Amino acid sequence: MTIRPDWFEDFQKNMSDLIARSPAADIERNVKAMMAQTFARLDLITREEFDVQAGLLQKALARIDALEARVKALEGEPAGPGQEPRQNP
């Protein structure tokens, strides 16, 4: 008795076809579809978009810190000749 060389390939193909037609494959497809719909409604963003926004936030925070330091330095400056210090309302 000889076994054909392509027997294993045929067996693999048949098993793949069987699994693709099984209820488990249908359930998996349905769950994936439900999850995709849920994620679409949640207004999620991609990791790349998140990283871009995180970078922009870091730059904004650094600029705010620099501006706060500048304001403190300007508020602490003594008034020039003939000028009175400004009062905050």
DSSP, res 84: P
Dump pLDDT digits (tens) for 17-72: 877 777 877 788 888 898 888 878 888 888 999 999 999 999 999 999 999 999 99
Would you place residue 89 in the very low, low, confident or very high pLDDT band (cuts 50, 70, 90)? Answer: very low
pTM: 0.45
Q: Is 26 helix (H, G, I), strand (E, B) or coil?
A: helix
Residue 1 has pLDDT above 70, yes or no: no
